[in-house]
Structures are given as structure tokens and as C-alpha cells.
Amino acid sequence: MEFNFLGRAFKGDKVIWYIFMALCIISLLEVFSATSTIAYRQQNHWAPIFRHAVFLLIGFGVVMFLQRVPSRYFSILLLGIPISAILLIITMFMGEDINGAQRWLGVGAFTIQPSEFAKISAIGFVAFFLSKMNTDNESWIFKTLIIGVGAMCLLIAPENLSTACLLFGVCFLMMFIGQVSLKKLGLVAFAGIATVGLLLGILTMLPDSSKEFLPDRLATWKGRIERHADNDQVSIFDRNQDGTLAYKIVDENFQVSHAKIAIANGGVIGLPGSGTERDFLPQAYSDFIFAIILEEMGLIGGLFVLLLYIVLMIRCGTLASKCEKKFPRYLILGAGLMLTIQALANMAVAVNLIPVTGQPLPLISRGGTSTIITCAYFGIILACSSKLNDSAHEDVDESIANVDFETFDSVREE
């Protein structure tokens, strides 16, 4: 009886549910630990983790709701494209500046991040048009996809270049999987790589004195690229009185240095609840939370978290291959790619493989809008993987539409 109740309450693929629950538990543990610096500045030490738990609870409600929605109704995400564009434009002029980036829009006592709505809307937008594509309409659908996705990325890029690149990359992979002409995709890839290469080249060649005249975000990108590319400049060594070399932590290498210290402290099994670098890393609960995971859960815990995201992507691929309908198939793949690639980007920053991007670790990092939208991705995957939604609802609709009513009438008369 209890098993039947759980089966009715939790729809969709059970493996996806297990991954979702595991990430939520890890998130609560690590955010509770990593927000110590915030807790010390507040009268209520439980306020930071309580806030995060509330957003996770709201996100859980979103998952419970979305898992029961027939996948065909997710085409409403198309409306998110113009709405997201309007919100992004408003944010450019009226957004709140937090940590040097104007990415948030204040709504009363709350702030929202329009780029998160733009990401999930773009996934639905691409999935919908790919599901309608055939040999006769491929050309105009491809143009529609490029214009729609390109517009979203251009609006996001000025304040959040990494998110724009992430979104474009995921949509590009969806088009590749959707069997869009390789020639068309090749031209888009060449144009994208050439544009990014040209921008990076210009920023690299500009003298340091030019930072005073560059827009804030361009100056930030230039500094991050230089710090990551020139390890000798960032890794400053001083000589002690005895002549030995000592590594000196300065503003330019502060985050990277403390992330490396956290990883070294963790070793193989970690220091559960006893990490120290959470008190030094400015974004220990967000951008660098994977470094805190490696410090407190060790290499074993870090590999476990990495494995959760890899299994998520593999499972999404398996579920997508079983979908007879194209729209839910592309939705599952798009959501899975977005979550996995964003997670890998966050982890790569924590271990200093790529420059700092500001991408949170999906469902684990502390957040508001990002946490709820991440839960929405899981809800979409669960809804599209649910036999109730795909078979019992959509297939019945198609069978009704294909009934031969003349035959039915003749049988009834007999």
C-alpha cells in the first residue's frame, strides 16, 4: 500500500529522482558549512541555511507539479523567449549590481535572475522547433533557431558572458543531435569561434593601462584571462629570511589559491565539518562550492558528486532514446546537457582548469532563481520520462484523432 502511494506521488524515472534527492542532501550539508561567514554577520545564525532550505522546498514543489504535466504543454516555454528578452533589457538599465555584475532584477524584497528564465525558455524553444523540422522546412527553422538563440545570448553576454556561451553551446549540441545540416552548423561554429577568438585576442593585446577606460565587465574578463593564462604572474613567490621561496597570496590569485588549499586539505577522505577555507573563499557557497566539497568530503566525495552529474547525463540520453515523440526527447536532452555542462564548468573553475566563470553548481550552490529553475529542469525530465504523460495522455489523444468515424458509425448502426 505504501509502495503504491509512493509510486503515485513520484512520477517519472526513479534514477532521476535518486539523483535529485542526493544532490539536495549534499546541497543542504555543504551550504550549511560554506555559509559560515554569512552566519557570523547575522544575529540569526540559522538564517542562511533556512533561506536555502526554503528555496529547495519551493523547488521540490515545482518538481512535484511539473512531473504531472503532459510533456506537450511544455511548448508554453516559447512564450518565455519574448518575456525573457524584455526582462533582460530591463535588467540592463534597472538591474541591481551584485559582486560587480548587473544580472539581477529587484522585485519588491526579492531579486530574480532573468538569464535563468532565458536559459530554460531557450531549451524549450529549440526543442519545439527541432521536433517540427523536416526536409522541407529545415532552412527556415534553422534560421528561426539561430535568430532566437542568438538574440538571447546577445542580451545575456554583456553582463554574463559565460552563461551566454553555455546557453549557445547547449543549443548548438541540441541542433547537432537534432540532425540539423552539418554544413549550416559548421558555419555557425566557425563564426562563433572566430568572434570569441577575436574578442579574446583584442582583450589580451590591450595594455594594462587600458583597464581604466574599458567597461567594467570587459576589464573583468581581461583580468581573468590574464590571471589564468600567466601562472608565473599570478603565482607570486617571495624569499624568506633564510632564502627559501614562499608562495604569496595577493588579490590577483586569492580565490584560486584558497581553492587549491581547500583541495589539498581534503586529501582522499576529507575533513567533514572541519574545513577552514570556507572562511576565506568569497563565494565558497556558490562559485567555489566544489572546492569546499573536496575539502570536507575529500577526493571520494568529489568523485561521487561528479559521478552523479555524469549518471544524470547518461540516464537522460537513455530516456531520450526511448521517447517516440521528438519534443519530449529534445527536452530531456536539452535539460540534461544544461545541468551537466554547467556542473562541469563549475568544477573546472574550482580546480583551476578554466578562468572564473561565475557558474553555480546546479542544485548544490546556494541560490534563489537558479535553484528553482534547476528544479524545473528536473521536473521537465521527470514529466517527459513518465509513462503516464507520454503514453496515457499523448498517445490517447493521437489515437482519438486517428479514429475512422465512418467505420464507427456503421458498427453502431449494426
pLDDT at 217: 57
pLDDT at 216: 58
Mean pLDDT, consecutive 10-residue segments, the chain of 414 residues?
A: 61 91 93 75 74 93 93 92 92 75 71 90 95 89 93 88 91 93 91 81 67 56 60 54 63 75 86 78 81 91 95 95 91 95 92 82 89 95 73 40 42 40
pLDDT at 257: 80
pLDDT at 123: 96
Within 10-113, residue ranges assigned H as helices are 14-34, 36-40, 47-66, 80-94
pLDDT at 371: 93
- Say whether 245 sits in a helix, a strand or coil: strand
The CB-side HSE value for 111 (13 A sphere, CA atoms) comes to: 14
The residue whose grid cell reads 528555496 is 55
pLDDT at 414: 42
pLDDT at 388: 40
Residue 352 to residue 121: CA distance in whole angstroms: 31
Residue 301 to residue 266: CA distance in whole angstroms: 10
